[in-house]
Structure 1
């Protein structure tokens, strides 16, 4: 892979690396014929960033698809590796006015597998004064890249803030604040720092900062229901700083406090940055939501009769599908026992009837009668044996309980 970044785009590339370094420890680089993607996931799996540059961002961009380390999937060939975020940020760090100092920045990736001397990401920064700064970073090949499960299409609520509205927003909150709460209403949104209850109990006086934003300062605002969610401050500040550095609006997509908070920064046909921050939920809120979901399931669940076996006298209980109308496995076993007792009684009645017809006759007739009785007995037994395979093969074991929730 070979990518050349012009001097006017080097500063934006640096902002991207700094943002990724504040979110995660490792950066996954994925090169495809039409784009170059940088993504990261923090160690606690509570924040994710995915920034993609198209070919128009680079002065020149090429991926050798014939290399041995090139992998293939449904979307085509690609080359993917993982690099330490701090090393990548340090290699591209340039002090002073980048546009006046740097002529271009070149990225070269050897298409090698595994980890070793051949697996290197080379970064060359060519200055206008005639010297070159070269960094060679070892990388590790990876088979999978992190992805966002939730999508912005599934979020009914959203807002879009221009760079002017974001100006100075991170500086309003204390650097010690670890969490921030966003409250959304029909009038607008409000950001509030969350105080630590442990510090409050220790006797320290902590103040809270609230920054309200009305709908007039937003480019767009769509709200389905009033929402209040809490998420990490560090990652949120990094995303706001990234949008401000590129002078691009920040888009947010959200639903309920139980789902991740999605953000996006887009430069049409050049760059797309997608972020996801996990929300913090109280245990009481989780219990209330679970209770409401169980109540909804109980209302939608079909009613099952709680009567005894006599309530199902019109059903053919020898058929397995009719077991759905029984309340418990014990009812099913009792019904099968009743069927067996009825068949055994019918067979015994046939035998006694044949035996009673033989009284008062001579020996020959008794032999014939005994023979007829044996035939009748054998016929009853045969009939019982013929009927037996229609029943479940294992009557003593309990049948798996049928759950109507499977139809939900």
Structure 2
């Protein structure tokens, strides 16, 4: 494999590597005659991210395949921490080109960075991990529901949520979308400010929903996608079926594409199934995706009036009672005179 990325495209590659680094600690490189792919998976196997760079993205793209091999793909795996430091800063202003070299059965991937000034060529040899191919088994457009909007629209939606929010619940109907940072029917959290945002179908570039559904997933990959899309002025697509099946966040360009596959929960079904137990570990097998998700989930106490329960006693008041508890204990103990003996006078008179 011998690929050359021109200086004007290095910014795209750099932002892609930094986006993938927010998901996983290992990165898979797979090359065939048409494209070069970078893939990563988070530790809990709930998020998978994959970027594809077509031949037109490179100024030179040379892939030599072994004719006797059944699999016409070159595969290798790197530690993300060894690759990420090379893509910090504004490299597109410094580099004339970047060359990626890899020989089959080699233990290293070689990155050659040619700087614009002083004729400097920096050579980085990155040691590979054990060879392994990651099989995803799902296509980005496999869902029946499709939303497509500008990165500005999604960024405005994200700004309505707090930085401390970890999950988002979407209620999707054929004419609108409702985004919440809570699940309807779950026990209210006194420390959480409830947020609900309603968007009409007309605010999206494309709003194609066949079945109404509720879907819950993590906010972290969505934040990563929005940040990446805004930096390159790309639109964002959401492809899904229903809660409990994979959801895909995707961005496309004529020369490259990147998508995030995220495992989801069905808030209605999973809340009802967990009411009978005080603590239930929910195990979700994502359909058509080699990802197993184990999500610890505490059963909520359903309040039909949807009112906040009485706030628990603050830790400070408990500490005050503990520190000053002896102040409430009796300090005078009445003596038992009957139990004492009468003694005579000490004087002789």
TM over 0.5: yes
Relative distance call for 1:129 and 1:168 in structure 2 (3 A) is farther
Per-residue CA distance 1:2-61 (angstroms, 9 max, x = gap): 111111110110111111111111111001122101111111111111211111001111
Q: Which position in structure 2 is the counterpart of 1:227? A: 213
Per-residue CA distance 1:305-324 (angstroms, 9 max, x = gap): xxxxxxxxxxxxxxxxxxxx
Relative distance call for 1:175 and 1:135 in structure 2 (3 A) is farther
Q: What is the CA RMSD across the aligned residues, in angstroms? A: 2.6
Shift of 1:168: 4.3
Q: Which position in structure 2 is the counterpart of 1:399? A: none
Alignment of 1:98-177 (within 5 A): 98-112=91-105, 118-130=106-118, 131-149=120-138, 152-153=141-142, 155-177=143-165
Q: Which secondary structure state, in structure 2, belongs to the residue aligned with residue 152 of structure 1?
A: coil
Distance 1:147 1:237 in 2: 22
Shift of 1:215: 1.7
1:256 corresponds to 2:245: no
1:277 corresponds to 2:262: yes
Q: Which position in structure 2 is the counterpart of 1:319? A: none
Shift of 1:213: 2.3
Alignment of 1:3-14 (within 5 A): 3-14=3-14
Match of 2:202 among 213, 216, 224: 216
Q: Which position in structure 2 is the counterpart of 1:49? A: 49
Q: Which position in structure 2 is the counterpart of 1:72? A: 70
Shift of 1:211: 3.3
User: Quick check: which has more Rg, 1 or 2?
Assistant: 1
Q: Which position in structure 2 is the counterpart of 1:26? A: 26
Shift of 1:271: 1.1
Shift of 1:88: 1.4
Distance 2:73 2:48 in 1: 21
Shift of 1:233: 1.0
State the TM-score, normalized to the length of structure 2.
0.70
Q: Which secondary structure state, in structure 2, belongs to the residue aligned with residue 274 of structure 1?
A: strand
Shift of 1:221: 0.5
Number of aligned positions between the proteins: 270
Alignment of 1:226-375 (within 5 A): 226-268=212-254, 270-282=255-267, 283-285=270-272
Q: Which position in structure 1 is the counterpart of 2:176? A: 188
8 Å Cα contact 1:150/1:260 also seen in 2: no
8 Å Cα contact 1:82/1:141 also seen in 2: yes
Moved more, 133-142 or 228-237: 133-142
Distance 1:43 1:165 in 2: 30
8 Å Cα contact 1:71/1:79 also seen in 2: no
Shift of 1:165: 1.7
Relative distance call for 1:251 and 1:127 in structure 2 (3 A) is same
Distance 2:138 2:145 in 1: 17
Q: Which position in structure 2 is the counterpart of 1:371? A: none
Q: Which secondary structure state, in structure 2, belongs to the residue aligned with residue 10 of structure 1?
A: helix
Relative distance call for 1:227 and 1:136 in structure 2 (3 A) is same
Per-residue CA distance 1:72-98 (angstroms, 9 max, x = gap): 32xxx22101111232121222x24x4
Shift of 1:150: 6.1
- Could you say which structure has the higher helix fraction? 1
Distance 1:217 1:284 in 2: 31
Higher relative contact order (CA 8 A, sep 6+): 2
8 Å Cα contact 1:83/1:139 also seen in 2: yes
State the TM-score, normalized to the length of structure 1.
0.61
